[in-house]
Amino acid sequence: MISTLDIRIEKVGQSRISEMDFHHIEFARKYSDHMFIADYDGKEWKDFRIIPYGNIEVSPANPAIHYGQSIFEGLKAYKGENGQVLIFRPDKNYERMNKSAERMMMPQLPRELFIDAMHELINLDRDWVPDVAGTSLYIRPFMFATDEFIGVRPSDTYRYMIITCPVGAYYPKPVKVKIEEHFTRAVKGGTGYAKTAGNYAASLYPAWLAQQQGYDQLIWTDGQQHRYIEEAGTMNLMFMIDDTLITAPTGDTILAGVTRDSVLTLARDWGVKVEERPLEVQELLAAIKEGRLQEAFGTGTAATIAHIEAIGYRDEQYNLDLGERHFSDKVLETLDAIRTGKAEDKYGWNYIV
Ligand code: COI
């Protein structure tokens, strides 16, 4: 017990871990034995407990269901040497969770509630952290409104929970993405930077339309002119053009990805030229046609580094036969080595359980 929190722990009678085949993990299909729960009563967080994973009961008048007052995070724990468990950059997710909470009129989480509760939960379920290459334990902290009231106003009460599940690749193979010019993911002044449920719900229909045309995901463009590349919703986007790594700047409409930040940190450290700036769709298309696009990939906790093999624009599909992916492959290899404790953690990214 490391925590200063008073957590009640009720362990499962019988672990379900024997149901897991760690060599064939489907993304987020099986959940670990336990989950963490805390409740906010309008004044303070209380009733901290770790209990067996299972269904929960909410009022049918729950405002998270009706108006989407709901936020979440995604992070990963890795198995290191000698059974050590390492959580990757949880402080970044903690900061972002509270930014999302502020935007959605939800209470702030004290750091120990985010970090210490996660520590206790992962420690208890540490056998669920897989040690097969390319796998990890996905950690999903989330908070939602719990009042019994269908008026449109912030809820007084909330629940915070953490569930975890062993995962493999979110995108098991390189992705095909389509540049979206009609629908909009986020606008200036909106909620694009917050990790809130509605952002994802709103993306489902446009993504489904693209999937009917054989694409995996969308490249969202800015909501005003559909002229600049933003992100993919499930991941930030990066392009290596003329030896320069280009990605959209964070702001109102872009989620400040932890993997995004880690990739940019490594790139700068390696002396790669980095530009965080609006990238015009036409500039990207010109780079593809002129053979100047060297690499295209998404970055995200779930997605890790997802190579892009094709980009759709209007009626055209550009197949990216880009050859060696020097930078993104090196990034993935380096991140994997740091996250599993095989390489020096010189940035202090790992939180050890
Ligand atoms: C993550 O990368 O952790 C996310 O929350 C994105 C979602 C597509 C799984």
Cβ neighbourhood burial of 292 (10 Å; 0-12, 13-18, 19+): middle
Q: How high does pLDDT run on average in the chain?
A: 97
pLDDT digits 0-9 by tens, 301-317: 999 999 999 999 999 99
Say what the pLDDT of residue 3 is.
66
Question: Which is the closest atom of ligand 1 to the Cα of 301?
Answer: 2
Q: Across 180-280, where does the E strand assignment appear?
A: 217-219, 228-229, 236-241, 244-247, 273-276, 279-280
Say what the pLDDT of residue 67 is.
97
Rounded to the nearest 10 degrees, the angle between the axes of helix 111-124 and helix 90-103 is 130
- Rounded to the nearest angstrom, the distance between the alpha carbon of 195 and the centre of ligand 1 is 9
Q: Which domains does the chain have, with CATH numbers?
A: 4-168 (3.30.470.10), 175-339 (3.20.10.10)
Q: Whose CA is closest to atom 6 on ligand 1?
A: 234
pLDDT digits 0-9 by tens, 55-109: 999 999 999 999 999 999 999 999 998 899 999 999 999 999 999 999 999 999 9
pLDDT digits 0-9 by tens, 250-267: 999 999 999 999 999 999
**What's the average model confidence in pLDDT over 345-350?**
98
Ligand 1 pocket, residues with Cβ under 6 angstroms: 74, 234, 300-303
Pairing of the two strands 279-280 and 228-229: antiparallel
- Rounded to the nearest angstrom, the distance between the alpha carbon of 304 and the centre of ligand 1 is 10
